[in-house]
Structure 1
Amino acid sequence: MDVTIGNDPLVNWQSYQQARSELGANFVRILGYFREDGIKSVDRIEDAMRSHNATAMVIPAHTLKGEARQFGADPLADLAETIEMIARGCIERRETPTEALEHVVKLRPLFETTLDMLEREANPLVARKPAAAFGRRPVL
């Protein structure tokens, strides 16, 4: 099942497959790093939002943007980029990042849903063949 935002899928599967091909045996390990780094980035962005600290938003948003883009998670990368750009603008104008709030609120659910899709696709144990009909042997 492809989850979408509007008409855009949460994962560009062509980019995902390209990353999987390029990373080879390292793919699952690097996806695990994306999970770890992504959780930390989302936590840091939320903490920065709570403390009204635009400067503290920039690096985790930038990191999340790049890592998400690597796996074809374009809507997540776009949202992180929006947060990063708002934070950078707030730093230049010496303002608190209140305009980022609506985007930060969307970040964790989008990250979790996207990560679930990426990991489900990467899991070799996920059943990809239809279940056998009653009375028939399963297709192996």
Structure 2
Amino acid sequence: MIEGSADVVDWAHFEKARAELGPGFIRILSYFREDGIKSVAAIEQAMREQNTVGLVMPAHTIKGEARQFGAEPLAKVAELIESTGRLCIETRRFPDELVADVVRLRKLFDETIQLFDEATNPLRSRAGPGGAFGRRAANQGFGRI
């Protein structure tokens, strides 16, 4: 679908979800965005406050919703944060080792949302090969010295 994005989104899974959800797809995708923004912010806040319990539920939320739309790399990072958080709750320690993963979660979430926006923007999908409407002028070099 979008060049170079197959490592972030499984487009076959994304299109299957689109077909199954039908007219409600865009609305449900907007919930993913809203929940994701809140969840990523909550995870970042929990890391700043060293609140291990605060990592688990938002990571669980992102994991499930990302998988629904074929964003498996995002789901895997969220799953790592969730499972490490759960283990650390049991062992009564804070998972400092997750700092890099939380940073990666933010980056992957932002990239995933951007790709979803590009895939669902009706103007973008109607654009020609150059990414814009109309034909590209063939005489761009004419008259130039």
TM-score normalised by length of structure 1: 0.88
> Is 1:68 equivalent to 2:70 in the alignment?
no
Q: Which residue of 2 aligns with 1:15?
A: 13
Q: Deviations over 1:32-91 (max 9, x none)?
A: 111110000000000001111111110000000000111100100000000001101100
Q: Name the CA distance, whole Å, in 2 between partners of 1:2 and 1:70.
A: 21
Bigger-Rg structure (1/2): 2
Query: Which of these residues, 3, 6, 12, is aligned with residue 5 of structure 2?
Result: 3
Q: Which residue of 1 aligns with 2:55?
A: 57
Q: Deviations over 1:92-128 (max 9, x none)?
A: 1000121211101111111001110011101111144
Q: Which residue of 2 aligns with 1:87?
A: 85
Q: Name the CA distance, whole Å, in 2 between partners of 1:124 and 1:65.
A: 27
- Name the SS of the counterpart of 2:122 in structure 1: coil
> Is 1:30 equivalent to 2:33 in the alignment?
no
Which structure 2 residue ranges, 5 or more long, are not aligned? 139-145
Q: Which residue of 1 aligns with 2:97?
A: 99
- Name the SS of the counterpart of 1:11 in structure 2: coil
Q: Which residue of 1 aligns with 2:143?
A: none
More off after superposition, 96-105 vs 60-69: 96-105
CA contact 1:53–1:97 (8 Å) conserved in 2: no
TM-score normalised by length of structure 2: 0.85
- Give % identity: 50
The count of residues paired between Structure 1 and Structure 2 equals: 131
Q: Name the CA distance, whole Å, in 1 between partners of 2:90 and 2:79.
A: 16
Q: CA RMSD in A?
A: 1.4
CA contact 1:65–1:81 (8 Å) conserved in 2: yes
